[in-house]
Structure formats: C-alpha cells, structure tokens
C-alpha cells in the first residue's frame, strides 16, 4: 500500500514535469523521506552536487540523525539513514543511480534519457514550460521612481534596469507583477515650481510639453529665486497650501509640470524597453490620514518636538510621519502606499529598488508596519513580506561618483545614445575589415547597434552583485572579450550561424530527432541547460539578477567547450548536436530577454 501511493505520487511529479529540476528531485526526496522516517516531518534539502559523483545531492541524513538518535531508532548512524533515503527513492525515469558518501550525503545521478527528453520537450513546447514554480501569486516591484522636475540620475537608471529584470523574471515564473513607478510628484518643491511657471510663462496653459525647455534648469532657476527672493518664497509657500487645498488653477499647473517630466522619463523608458505603471506619491496622499489614524489608535504615534513620530526599536531617531508644519512626508507616503498595496492590491511581496543609502528608511518603516501587525513575524510566516533591493553607486573612471564632463548631471538619454553610437562604429569597422559591410542594410546596422549598445549598458550593471559600486566604462562594457553583453551576443549569433549553415531542418528535427548525451561535454551542456529554471528561481528568491548573468556566461563557456570537442556539422551526430545548439540558443535568448536585452542573430 505504502509503495503504491508513493509510486503514483512520483508518477504525477514526473509526468507533470512542472517546476525546476531541483524541485522535481526534491519532490522525489520528499517521498523517500516520508517512507524512511515517517515519524519526522522534514523538508527535503537538495543541492547541486559539488563532487563528480552526482548531479544533485540530498543532505538530509545528518540533520535527521540528530533528531532520531537516542529515540530507539533502528538506524545506526547518519550513513545508514542516507542509505535508506537512497533506497526509498521512488523508482522512475528521472534518476539513473545513487551513491551514499560519508555521513549520509546521497549523490543522485540523473538519467541521460530523462535529461534529453526534458530538453526536447522544451524545444517542442517552448521555454515557458521551464518556468519555476514560486510560492507567491502577486507582488509589487517599486522601481525607477524618479522625482518630478529633478534630475533622473544614474541611480534611477540602476533602479530601472534592476527592477525591470526582477519584474521580468517573476513574470516568466507566472507571478502577477505590479510594476510601480513611485515618482516623487508631491511635496513642497511644487509651490516654488508653480509660482515660477506662472511668472515665466503667463500663458502656461497653452504650452506644449517641450516649451519649458529643460525642466532641470527650470528647477534650478526657481530654486535660486526661492532662496534669494523673500517675496517669491512667501508666494511659493502659499502655493503649496493652495495646491494641497485642491485649488483648480494650482492643480492644473501641477499637472502640467508632471506631464512635462513624465514625457522626459518616458523617452528613457522607451529606449530601455521598460514598462512601468505610474502611481506617484500624490496617489497615496488621500490615504495618509486614515492610515495614520489607525496607527495612532493602536498607540504607536507619539508627539516629539512638535512633530508626530513612531519610535522604533533599535533606532535612536524616530520615524517622522507628520512634520512640524503639519505636512506629510516620504515616510507617511510610504506607509500609506504599503497599506494600499497590501489591502487594496493584495500583493504578497512588496519589493523596493533604490540605492543602499535609503536602507535605514526602509528598515524603519518595515519595522513600523510589523509593529502595527500589517506584516507577520518574519520567523513565523513568509508572506506577506517586504524587501528592500539596495544597490551601490555608479562610479566614473576616477573612482568618484559618475558624472559627465563638468559637474553636470548625466543625462540618461545621452548616455544610451553614446553606447549605441560607439557600438555602431565598432560594428561598422569590423564589418568593413571582414568585407561584410555590403551584406548589411542601414536598418540592420542601426537595430543591431541599439541591441548591442543598450544591452551592454544593462548587462554591465546587472552582472555585478547589486550591492557593490560599479565603475561605468564604455570601453569595458563594449569589449567583445570577457564577461560582457557584446561577447555574449557574439556567442549567441555564432550558434545561430552554425544552425543556419547546417542543411538540416531544425523544426523537423525538434519533432522527430533525438538528443543523445553520450559525449561528456554533451552531458555537461545538457545538464546545465536544464538547470535554467532553478537559476531563475534562485535569482528571484534572493532578488539577485547577477545570478542569471553568471549562468548565461557559464552557459556560453560550456557551449564553447562542447563545440570545440564535439563536431557538429557533417558528423554522424549532427541531428542530435544541432538540437543541443538550438536549445542553447533558446535558453540564451530567454536569459537575454529576462535581462531586458534584445538578442542579435547575426553579427
Ligand atoms: N523617489 C525616490 C528617489 O528618487 C525613490 C522612491 C522609491 N520608492 C519608494 N516607495 N520609496 O530616491
């Protein structure tokens, strides 16, 4: 009876083929654990094997031993438990063999035919069938989030790139992602901007979105006036009150300024191919009073030096939620936004992507939310939860904060244009040297330069652990050697050209061919391909895009080894090897897609 249940359950697991390979192996191990130690409730711990004796390994034995020893168990030592776990693994087509090492580590070797079939199924049914299964249904990624009329700086570029990749990885994993642009569109600076608008452009209502010119200069000029002209300052302060009181003229001037800013931001998003839904700070403004009232009724809000604050354990300074002048601030807005995301949007995970400099702010307001009971104790329950995805600075060649030429800010559009222009001139040079320039249309040249140039900027940012500062260098990111997007684009294009050069019909092969993994380098490549899902899972779980970059780079290295040691075109194994080429190209393209990079098929 016992046996029957486990076989049928494992058959389901194997048949559905859903989830990552690690998840599937874990499911098998879970069944074995239930049979081996029915009295203990334990989660399977399965990792990629670190030795050559297996592909995956189960590490449960030692922990189990400490739980059962002395309880009259028949097991003599952890190794015996390992042996039993290995023996009780349900029979099926996933596992080829097992061995038990030292204190009970169970090495698991996957069967070649199963690995091959998994790759072939993906080729037929699409890479979407390799999506990992994540324990969350809906989440918010709060990213990019520049401030109206202020500089959209390289920090916002990092937030945009990292946030977009996280969103793409979750979307691929079938999670409902709310991509939120929490733009700074509210605050006292609008009083001065509005008054300045009235003064400089009396016919402001008729203005098109370009007419003000540079909004950052506009901001600077109005700030200067604010600082030096007491009468103007007075008017600006009254303007804030009138705006917040909802006076029509002030509302529409505010809208106009936001619209101009939005147009500028949208140009950058368009270049980067990033989708975002704007719900700026102003959106949450109406919710602040009720949210604060709730917190106040719970007794968390205190009076301190004329402000209203929340004292938080472990922090010397309290979190200010109402300023001395009675106005709300960044923290009160974030509290209201979190309340809204949890209760109205029903998000289970709220992810904020900003520079590490804001860590304290997030730490404090997350703690406040936990105090209020909005979020469970992180040790007890996983969801709902909040995460701050911090990142380091972008540095220039001089090791200081990245700036262009003078002390001026970096314009993101210019930066992307330059990446494109540089990649175009290199591409042209290369094609001319190879005598291939005649084969390329202007449009192809333009599209390829865009894909390569913008991709290089994104990849240079994503490949580092986000917490480290990174040095912005066009020369480095556009090099075709080393771990760069350009190198990877070439690697992918080369695979496409191998497939083109073969005279076989890959579409037909997908349906009727068969993948063999007889050569060791074929097997290594095949096994690495099917790890794709668990890499995405890992990158999502830890919110680390660099994990995916590392995988992509390693994959291209493994492909090179395979291609060096295994003849493809003209060999007896050509059909099978061509399918491995195709699978590698498909997985690489999916990685590119998740990183927001447009793959190039010809270079
Ligand atoms: N506007 C902020 C800035 O430029 C980032 C906002 C991040 N999101 C949030 N919910 N606080 O620094």
User: pLDDT per residue over 403-424, tens digit each?
Assistant: 765 556 678 888 999 999 999 9
**Would the CB of 155 count as within 6 Å of ligand 1?**
no
DSSP 8-state code for residue 345: S
Nearest CA to ligand 1 atom 8: 182
**How many angstroms is it from 362 CA to the middle of ligand 1?**
10
CB environment 177-208: b (16+ within 10 A), e (fewer): bbbbbbbbbbbbbbbbbbbbbeeebeebeeee
Strands (E) located in 323-454: 349-355, 385-391, 394-395
**How many angstroms is it from 154 CA to the middle of ligand 1?**
14
What is the pLDDT, as a whole number, of residue 416?
Answer: 94
Mean pLDDT of 378-404: 89
Question: Strands of 385-391's sheet, edge to edge?
Answer: 277-278, 176-181, 138-142, 349-355, 385-391
Q: Would you say 589 and 491 are in contact if contact means Cβ atoms under 8 Å apart?
A: no
**How many angstroms is it from 353 CA to the middle of ligand 1?**
8
Nearest atom (ligand 1) to Cα of 337: 10
What is the pLDDT, as a whole number, of residue 274?
Answer: 98
Q: Which residue, 87, 90, 27, 36, is CA-closest to 64? A: 36
Report the alpha-carbon distance of residue 14 to residue 9 in Å, rounded.
9
Q: Is the pLDDT of residue 216 over 90?
A: no
What confidence tens digit (pLDDT) does each residue in 236-284 have? 999 998 998 899 999 999 999 999 889 889 999 999 999 999 999 999 9
What confidence tens digit (pLDDT) does each residue in 321-379 have? 999 988 899 999 999 999 999 999 999 999 999 999 999 999 999 999 999 999 998 78
* 3-state SS assignment for residue 510: helix
The residues near 363 (Cβ < 8 Å, ≥ 6 apart) are: 315, 388
CA 465 to chain centre: 12
What is the pLDDT, as a whole number, of residue 48?
Answer: 96
What is the complex's ipTM, to 2 decimals?
0.99
Q: Which residue has the tokens 């890479």?
A: 127
Burial zone of 18 (CB within 10 Å; 0-12 exposed, 13-18 middle, 19+ buried): middle
Predicted confidence band at 397 (pLDDT cuts at 50, 70, 90)? Answer: confident
Residue 249: phi and psi, rounded to 5, are -60, -40
pTM exceeds 0.90, yes or no: yes
Nearest CA to ligand 1 atom 6: 145
What is the pLDDT, as a whole number, of residue 384?
Answer: 97
Structure tokens at 143: 């990213």
Q: Is the pLDDT of residue 9 over 60?
A: no
Asked if omega into 56 is within 30° of 0 (cis), the reply is no
**How many angstroms is it from 188 CA to the middle of ligand 1?**
16
- Ordered alpha helix ranges (H), 46-204: 60-68, 78-88, 112-125, 154-172, 189-200
**How many angstroms is it from 147 CA to the middle of ligand 1?**
8
């Amino acid at each position: 009876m016992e046996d029957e249940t486990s076989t049928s359950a494992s058959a389901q697991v194997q048949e559905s083929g859903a989830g990552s390979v690690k998840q599937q192996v874990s499911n098998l191990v879970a069944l074995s654990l239930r049979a081996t130690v029915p009295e203990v409730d334990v989660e399977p711990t399965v990792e990629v094997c670190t030795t050559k004796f297996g592909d995956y390994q189960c590490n449960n034995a030692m922990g189990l031993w400490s739980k059962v020893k002395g309880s009259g168990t028949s097991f003599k030592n952890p190794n015996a438990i390992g042996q039993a776990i290995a023996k009780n693994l349900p029979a099926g087509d996933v596992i080829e063999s097992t061995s038990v090492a030292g204190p009970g580590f169970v090495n698991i070797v996957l069967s070649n035919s199963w690995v091959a079939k998994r790759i072939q199924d993906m080729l037929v049914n699409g890479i979407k069938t390799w999506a990992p299964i994540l324990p969350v249904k809906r989440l918010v990624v709060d990213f990019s989030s520049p401030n109206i009329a202020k500089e959209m700086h390289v920090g916002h570029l990092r937030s945009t790139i990292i946030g977009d990749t996280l969103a793409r990885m979750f979307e691929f994993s079938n999670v409902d992602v709310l991509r939120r642009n929490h733009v700074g569109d509210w605050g006292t600076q609008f009083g001065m901007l509005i008054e300045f608008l009235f003064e400089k452009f009396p016919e402001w209502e008729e203005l098109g979105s370009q007419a003000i010119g540079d909004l950052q200069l506009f901001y600077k000029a109005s700030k200067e006036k604010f600082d030096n002209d007491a009468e103007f300052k007075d008017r600006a302060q009254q303007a804030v009150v009138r705006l917040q009181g909802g006076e029509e003229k002030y509302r529409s001037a505010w809208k106009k300024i936001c619209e101009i800013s939005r147009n500028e931001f949208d140009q950058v998003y368009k270049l980067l191919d990033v989708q975002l839904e704007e719900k700026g700070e102003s959106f949450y403004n109406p919710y602040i009073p009720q949210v604060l009232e709730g917190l106040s009724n719970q007794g968390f809000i205190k009076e301190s030096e004329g402000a209203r604050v929340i004292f938080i354990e472990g922090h010397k300074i309290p979190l200010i939620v109402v300023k001395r002048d009675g106005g709300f601030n960044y923290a009160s807005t974030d509290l209201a936004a979190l309340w809204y995301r949890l209760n109205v949007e029903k998000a289970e995970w709220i992810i904020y992507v900003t520079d590490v400099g804001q860590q304290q702010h997030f730490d404090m307001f997350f703690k406040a939310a936990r105090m209020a009971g909005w979020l469970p104790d992180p040790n007890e329950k996983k969801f709902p939860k909040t995460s701050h995805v911090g990142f380091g600075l972008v540095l220039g060649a001089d090791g200081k904060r990245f700036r262009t030429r003078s002390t001026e800010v970096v314009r993101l559009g210019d930066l992307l244009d330059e990446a494109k222009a540089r990649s175009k001139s290199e591409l042209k040079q290369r094609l001319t040297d190879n005598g291939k320039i005649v084969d390329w249309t202007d449009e192809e040249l333009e599209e390829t330069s865009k894909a390569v140039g913008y991709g290089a900027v994104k990849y240079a940012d994503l490949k580092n652990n986000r917490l480290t500062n990174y040095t912005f260098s066009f020369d480095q990111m556009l090099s075709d050697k080393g771990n760069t997007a350009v190198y990877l684009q070439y690697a992918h294009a080369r695979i496409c050209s191998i497939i083109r050069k073969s005279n076989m019909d890959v579409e037909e092969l997908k349906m009727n061919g068969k993948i063999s993994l007889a050569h060791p380098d074929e097997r290594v490549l095949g096994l690495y391909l099917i790890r794709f899902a668990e890499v995405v899972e890992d990158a999502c779980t830890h919110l680390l895009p660099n994990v995916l970059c590392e995988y992509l780079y390693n994959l291209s290295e493994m492909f090179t080894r395979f291609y060096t040691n295994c003849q493809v075109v003209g060999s007896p194994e050509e059909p099978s090897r061509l399918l491995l080429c195709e699978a590698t190209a498909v997985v690489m393209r999916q990685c590119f897609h998740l990183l927001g990079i447009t793959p190039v098929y010809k270079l």
